[in-house]
Structure 1
C-alpha cells in the first residue's frame, strides 16, 4: 500500500501571533441554559455597535416615522418574517398617514400577501368614505368601521380562494385519487392557496387624519401600541392603547373557551390555541378556521414543512368546532391635540418586549411602556443626537438588545448559532408634531 504524505510547515511565531490576534475578541456563552454546549460570539467595540445595529436592522427615517426591523440570525429558514408599511395618502381633505406592522408566522407568503394588499384596501375604502361623507359629518366610528371591514375582507379573500378551489361538500365526496388529480391539475394555484392558509400574520396599524386631531389604532394579534404624551411640565407619560391577543391575556383565553363546548379542553392548551399557536387573532391560519377535513386531507403536506406528521394528525384531531383563530380586530380611536401637547406613537411587534424578558429584565407592561416613552422622549429633541443615533426606533432597539452592556449587545448581534436566539423585532416611532 502506498501512502501519500503531506508535509506541513510549522507556523512561524508571527503567524501564531496573527492567529491569536484574530480570535482575541471572540467569546463563548451557554445563553444561561446550563450544560456543556457553548456558542461563540464576537465582542465589538462600542464605536462599532450602533453602526452594526443600524446596518442589521435596516434603520430608516422619514419625515414622520423612524423604523427598524431586526433579526440577527442569518439562517434562511429563520429570516425575518416581519413586514411594515409607512405611507402618506393624498385624499379628500388632505394627507392621511398610515403605518402598520405585520408579524408573520410559519412562513413569508401570507405576511407578504397582507403587506401588499392591506394598505391599498384601506386606502380605497377610506377614499370612498371621504367622498361620500362631508368632513364636518365624519364620525370616528365611520373610520373605525372602514379599518375593521378592510382587515376582515382580506382574511375572507384568503378563505374564499380556498372554498372556491375546494368546496367543503366536494371535498367530502372525493376519494384520495380524485383529490390528488384535482390538485395536480391546478397545482400552482393550489400551492399559493394552501400556503396562505397554513401561514398567518398579525396586524397592528395606525391611521391619522390630515390635521392630526385623530388617530385610529387597529390590532389583530400580539403586537403593541403605546402613545406618549408630554405635559406642560416636560414630563412624558405612556398609555398602552391595545390589548394583546394571545392566551396569556386571560380575557382572550376565556373568550375562546366560551366560543367552544366545555368538552374541548384543548382549545386553549399550554397557553396556545389548540396547543399550537400563540396569537389568538390573525389573518390567514385558515386551517384553524375551517373543518378539520381540510387539514387531514389537503393541508397536511404544507404543515409538514414545520410539523412532523404525527403532530399534524394530533392538531387536526382537536379541530372540532372551528374557527379557533379570530379575524375580528379591535379598533381604538384617540383624539389628539398637537397644539397643546407633544405626542408620539410607538408600534412594535411582540419580539421587542420578549427580548427584555430574555435579558432577565422583568417589567410589567406599563413599566415597559414607561421605559420606551421615557427613552424616546429624552432624545426626541436632543441637539447632541446626530446621524445614526437620531433614529428613535434604533434607540429603542439598542436598549432592548443590551443598552450600555457592550458584551450583551455584541452577543445579541453576532452569536454564531443556527437557530433563532430572539424573535423578529420591528419598531415604528411616529411623531405627530
Structure 2
C-alpha cells in the first residue's frame, strides 16, 4: 500500500509582497536522506578523498554553479585540483572555466613542480589569463574602435552578435562576457604536504584540523571575502575611482553587482559603450535589461570588478595537527543560514560548526559527512524545515545554488 503524502503550506520570507503561503510536501524522517541526494549532482575523486555536491531544489531553476574534481598528472606525480565556480546571470562563464582553466594550470605548473616555487603566481596568472581570453574572444567579434561602435546601428550589432542560426559562436563569446563567475580553487601536491588556496569572489574555503583523534576540530578560513559588504574591498574600489560616489552603493558595485572580483562581468570592466550598444542587443542576454541600463551612466572609468585572485599557501608540514580536511563552498551554503533570522551567526562561528559536523565522520564516510552538512544547512533536525526547503512549490527559486566540496588530506 503506497504511503500517504502529507502536504502543508508555508510563508517564505524575502520575496516581496507575494510570500505565500506556498504548498510543500512533508517528508518522513526515513526518506529525507534520499530526498536530499535526489536533488544533488555529486562527483567523487578517483581515490575517494574528494566529494562534490551541488543542489538547487527548485524545479524551474537551472543550477548555475559548476565544480571540478580533477587529477593533474605532472612529472612529479598526481596533483589534486578542486574548484567551485559560482556562476551568476547565467552558466556560460562557469562552463568556460570548467573547459579551459585546467589546461591553463597544467601548462603553467609544468616548469614549477620540481621546486614548487612560483605555484602561487601560476594560479593567479591562469585566472587572469582565462578572463582576458574571454574579453579577447569578444573583442575579435567587434574589433572596431569605441568611436566606431558608437555609430553602429542596432541592426548591424544584432546581426553580428546573434548568430545562433549559423552556429552561435559570436553569441557564446558575448554571453561569456556579460555573465560572470566566482572561483574557489584548491591545489594539493602529490605528497599532500603542500596546499594552495585561490579565491576570486565570495565563496569560502575552510581547513579543518586537529592534533589527534581525541582533540576537537579547529576551523581556519583560508579565503578572502571579495564582495561589497567587505569594507576593505569597498575602500579599494573607491580609491581607484575617487570622484565617483556611486562606484559602490547599496553594498553593490555600481549599485548592481554584489561581488567585487570575478571572471566575466565585462559590463563592469569595459567602457560603457560595449554594454549600451552590444551587450544590451544580445538576444537572449541580460535577464533584466532595465537593471543593466541603470548602471550605464555610472560606468565612467572601468574596470570596477577585478580579476586578480587571492592565493594562500599552507605548508602542512609546519602545522602541529595530524588530521586535515578541506571544506569549500559557494556562498549559497552560508545564505541558507543568513536567510533565516533564527539561524544568523558570524561566519567564524558558522564554519566552526560546519567543521564539527563534518570532522568526526569525513575520514570514514565522506558521503555521510556531506549529507550531514547539507541536512544541517537545510534545517538541521527540523523535519518540517528541511522538507519545506526541498519541496516548496514557489514560482521562483527560493534558495541560491549551493555547491560543496569536501577533501580529506
**TM value normalised by structure 1:** 0.86
Task: Note the alpha carbon deviations across 1:289-313, whole angstroms, 9 max, x for none.
Answer: 0100111111113387445554332
Find the aligned partners of 2:275 and 2:363 in 1 and give their Cα distance.
53
User: Contact (CA 8 Å) 1:102, 1:202: kept in 2 or not?
Assistant: yes
2:387 maps to 410
1:148-167 equivalences under 5 Å are 148-167=124-143
Is residue 61–residue 391 contact of structure 1 (8 Å, CA) maintained in 2?
A: no
Out of 397, 401, 412, the position equivalent to 2:374 is 397
Please identify, of 322-331 and 34-43, the stretch whose mean Cα deviation from structure 2 is larger.
34-43
1:344 aligns with 2:336: no
Count of equivalent residues: 397
Counterparts of 1:25-36 in structure 2 under 5 Å? 25-32=6-13
CA distance in 1, matches of 2:219, 2:408: 14
Aligned partner of 2:72 in structure 1 is 89
2:188·2:195 contact (CA, 8 Å) conserved in 1? yes
Query: Which position in structure 1 is the counterpart of 2:116?
Result: 138
- Which of the residues 41, 45, 52 maps onto 1:67? 52
**Residue number in structure 2 paired with 1:364:** 346
Q: Give the deviation of 1:172 after TM superposition.
A: 2.9
Tell me, in whole angstroms, the C-alpha distance in 2 between the residues paired with 1:80 and 1:299. 23
Q: More helix by proportion, 1 or 2?
A: 1
- Partner of residue 156, structure 2: 181
Matches within 5 A, 1:101-120: 101-120=84-103
Partner in structure 1 of residue 230 of structure 2? 249
**Residues 39 and 55 of structure 2 are in contact (CA less than 8 Å); yes or no, is this contact kept in structure 1?**
yes
Provide the C-alpha distance between the structure 2 equivalents of 1:165 and 1:381, rounded to a whole number of angstroms.
50
- Indicate if the aligned counterparts of 2:361 and 2:368 stay in contact, CA closer than 8 A: no
Output aligned runs, 1:175-214, within 5 Å.
Answer: 175-177=151-153, 180-181=155-156, 184-185=159-160, 187=163, 188-214=168-194
- Is 1:317 the equivalent of 2:297? yes
Deviation, 1:109, is 1.1
Distance 1:310 1:88 in 2: 43
In structure 1, runs of 5+ residues without a counterpart are: 1-17
Matched, 1:297 2:277: yes
Q: Contact (CA 8 Å) 1:198, 1:302: kept in 2 or not?
A: no
In structure 2, how many angstroms separate the alpha carbons of the residues matched to 1:309 and 1:185?
19
Residues 88 and 179 in structure 2, CA contact (< 8 A), matched pair in contact too: yes
In structure 2, do the counterparts of structure 1 residues 379 and 202 end up closer, same or farther at CA, with 3 Å as the change threshold?
Answer: same
Distance in 2 of aligned mates of 1:308 and 1:381: 45
Partner of 1:272: 252
For residue 278 of structure 2, give the secondary structure of its aligned residue in structure 1: helix
